[in-house]
Amino acid sequence: MISRVVLIVLDGAGIGELPDAARYGDEGSNTIVNTAKAAGGLELPHLQSMGLGNIGSELVGSDIPGVVPASPPRAAYGRMAERSPGKDTVTGHWEIAGVTLDRPFPVYPRGFPPEVIEPFERAIGRRVLGNKAASGTEIIKELGEEHMVTGRPIVYTSADSVFQIACHEDVVPVEELYRMCEIARRLLTGEHGVGRVIARPFTGGPGNFRRTERRRDYSIAPPRKTLLDFASEQGLDVIAVGKIEDVFSRRGITKSLHTTNNHDTLDAIAGFLSDKWRGILFANCIDFDMLYGHRNDAPGFARALEEVDARVGELAAKLGDTDVLVITADHGCDPTTPSTDHSREHVPLLIYGKAIRPGVSVGTRATFADLGATIAAMLGVTAAIDGTSFWEILALR
């Protein structure tokens, strides 16, 4: 039996469009492969040795420049398709944890209607600026100066189901921004139950505004129990690193550390691996999505992949005999396409540990939830979640 599973989500690191990508305007998206092409190749020796190149050549049908197939891979490998509609963070993470959705969260390409905005303005005692779909960095450039003069919060959305509030830290204290987000979260229910309300604090002056790392996400609660709930109820540790506690509305989590960048997240994982615990460590590496995918920064995305790869070897070396390391993603965020939004893609899957059969291909899983079911089986957790376990083809006999 496995004692600990370290599950790392490389936020936005998709690997090839899903069959329905055209419905989302995402034809041609292939985050990892296109990033590698734009960068003139990637140097990912640890992920390559685990089988990332095999995923590209065998399952995606497109080699990853610089990342050759391993012969044989050190890990089990495959890719997963998202069954739930949508392509947002919450949907992807929930599906990994065994909850698939029948309908997508609401989106607002023309901004939020009066029945949303007016109660919010009354509750916070201020009128808002913006109220439209926009790039976060661009809307701050556009409205940041007016916000500083008036104190009115900037409200905007994107192609995802998000209600984002941006405020300058010197104009609206961050704690007040968080209070506004909590009010919005309470109001946004039912047909307007957006996936996330996001606090977007920024600093600087006109022409030089910069978003800070004091972002905070307020997710809607999962509609039913996830793998995290079942694991914690059955006495296991469930450690959340990064924005995982926000994505799951802090449910089913026994310990959390809210890191705000890849470096601190990986440091935290390494630290927890030196501690004694049994259960699941669920971590999100946010920089791929937040800093590079949404800003169409392919060189930055490539550099971040290489930086994470350098730490993967360290983490793998810290695993005990009954520990498992899982690396995957929650959606795509292709920095080489004209869009700055998430992309509807498959996600890579690498599963490594001394108790895992190396070189096994798990193929293309029909849902991210298969991973949640497999982790439950690894840990001996009884969990009424979606997905089909493939633990029997991974376990060393």
Report the percent of the chain where pLDDT is more than 70: 100
State the burial class of residue 149 (Cβ atoms within 10 Å of its Cβ: 0-12, 13-18, 19+). exposed
Query: Structural domains in the chain?
Result: 4-102+220-393 (3.40.720.10), 114-219 (3.30.70.1250)
Block means of pLDDT (10 residues each) for the chain, 397 residues, are 97 98 96 98 98 97 97 97 96 98 94 98 98 94 98 95 97 98 97 96 96 92 97 98 96 96 98 97 97 96 98 97 98 96 97 98 98 98 98 91
Residue 296 gets the label, from left (phi > 0), alpha (psi -120 to 50) or beta, of: left
d(CA 63, CA 33): 7
* pTM of the model as a whole: 0.92
β-partners of residue 356 are 395
| 55's tokens | 């995923």
Q: What angle do CA 56, 59, 63 make, to 5 degrees?
A: 25
What is the pLDDT, as a whole number, of residue 160?
87
pLDDT digits (tens, 9 = 90+) for 322-379: 999 999 999 999 999 999 999 999 999 999 999 999 999 999 999 999 999 999 999 9
pLDDT digits (tens, 9 = 90+) for 148-192: 999 999 999 998 899 999 999 999 999 999 999 999 999 999 999
